[in-house]
Amino acid sequence: MTYLTVYTDADTPETLLRTEDPAEISAALKEIDVLLRHWDVVDDLPPGAGQDEILEAYREQVAKVVAEEGYTFVDVAQLHPDDTADWAERAAAARAKFLNEHTHDDDEVRFFVSGSGIFYLHVDDKVHAVLCEPGDLLSVPAKTTHWFDMGTTPDFTAIRFFHDDDGWVGDFTGASIASRIPDYDTIAAGRS
């Protein structure tokens, strides 16, 4: 279930809202032009399913969104803990990639097949931290300042939708806001 926390972007951020209520979350995100939709989760996907199998399982939903919104490329990104020697290093590198505030020229659209991650949307003087879980399809409009935290133990599978080949490149703002707002581990642990 999606979990939304809203903060001020002050030097010492204050928490304005914490909610799991779907209607409240949709309304709060609509105010900042962010669309959150929900698909039924396909629960018979085997662990370790690859991109083709995942896209096939969600073929109809994906095709509908692609047709409606003109995406030209769809793929699957996934990261799961394993016992390889370089896991910790790979996890930290993956997490660091988009952990600072940035924008993209394309929308950032993700459907969470499994696991979770937090999109932090910095619009006007607030930060909406959207903890996405399986079934959540989040569309962050191009040019929205945001960052993404997959936590210190990344574990997720997400379908990604793109309009163009280079639109995903991050344009980093240099702002320090991401370091002032509670991170994935803190928000996930504090959720009750």
C-alpha span between 62 and 114 (Å, rounded): 16
Binding mask of the shown chain, residues 98 to 127, with x at each position contacting Fe ion by CB under 5 A: x---------x-------------------
CB of 59 to Fe ion, least distance (A): 26
Contact 76, 157 (CB under 8 A): yes
CB of 162 to Fe ion, least distance (A): 12
- What number of chain residues touch Fe ion (CB under 5 A)? 2
Beta bridge pairs of residue 100? none
C-alpha span between 70 and 67 (Å, rounded): 6
CB of 134 to Fe ion, least distance (A): 20
CB of 100 to Fe ion, least distance (A): 10
Binding mask of the shown chain, residues 65 to 104, with x at each position contacting Fe ion by CB under 5 A: ---------------------------------x------
Give 185-189's long-range contacts (Cβ < 8 A, gap of 24+).
185/151, 185/152, 187/3, 187/5, 187/118, 187/129, 187/131, 188/116, 188/131, 188/151
> Under the rule (CB under 5 A), what is the footprint of Fe ion?
98, 108
